[in-house]
Amino acid sequence: IRFFQLWSRNQWKRERYAPSFHLDDENLDPKTWCRFPILSGSYQRELQELREFVDKERGN
């Protein structure tokens, strides 16, 4: 969980270029292909869903 939070929070340290949206499924540039949207929610929704799933599985 901490990895995803730090990954999205510190993206600007990895990317030294001006932030912009990049919508291209077939981009071969390794630096821009994996770029997350600047308006990322730090995976809060996804992490909450993961927690709920794990709690549900442990309850069974």
pLDDT tens-digit map of 3-44: 877 777 776 666 665 555 555 666 666 566 556 555 566 678
How many whole angstroms separate alpha carbon 38 and alpha carbon 36?
Answer: 6
Task: Read off φ and ψ for residue 21, nearest 5 degrees.
Answer: -80, 145
Q: What are the Cα distances from residue 32, in Å, to 23, 27, 36, 40, 45?
A: 10, 8, 9, 15, 24
- Of residues 30, 34, 45, the one with CA closest to residue 7: 34
Give the confidence band of 58 by pLDDT, cuts at 50, 70, 90: very high
